[in-house]
Amino acid sequence: MATESTGTTEITGSCLCGAVRYVITSEPMMAGHCHCRACQKASGGAGASAIAVPEDAVTITGTVKYYDNPTDSGGVSSKGFCPECGSRLMGKATGMPGLLTISAGSLDDPALFKPTMNIFTASAQPWAPMDPDLAHFEGMPDMG
C-alpha cells in the first residue's frame, strides 16, 4: 500500500508466504512489461511486469535469493526470489546499475502499477496481447 510518511511515498510488498517484505521510499522511475525470454522462463508466462526504483530506496526484511543469468549484451541479470515460497520479487542487471526492478504482482497494492512501455517485444509471444497505447521497444530502451 502507498502511504504518505513524512512527505515521502512508501510502496510496500511481499512474497506469497510473507517471509520477505520490502518498503520502497521512491516513486517508480519506470514501469513496464518485459517480454524477454529470461522473464518468460522465470515467470512461466508471457514475461514480467515490474517497476524500477533506485536500489537505495528499498528496504528489505528477510532473505532474497538471487539467480544470475547472462544477458544478450554480455551483462548479468539477477532474478531475486523468496527461498521459502519461490515468489519472484525483484531483479537487478549490470546494465542498470543502482536500479532494482520490483515485480508488480508482489506489491501490496498491485493497482499502483501503471505501465508505460513494453520492452523486448522482439521476443514477445504471439499469444500474449500487448496494449497498443504503450510504447513498444524491440529490445531495452536507452535509459540515459
Which of 143, 139, 50 minimizes the C-alpha distance to 96?
143
Alpha-carbon Rg for the chain, nearest whole angstrom, is 15
Please, what are the domains in the chain? 3-136 (3.90.1590.10)
Contact 125, 37 (CB under 8 A): no
> pLDDT digit string (tens) for 22-78?
999 999 999 999 999 999 999 999 999 999 999 999 999 999 999 999 987 888 999
Dist. CA 11–CA 1, nearest whole Å: 6
**Structure pTM?**
0.90
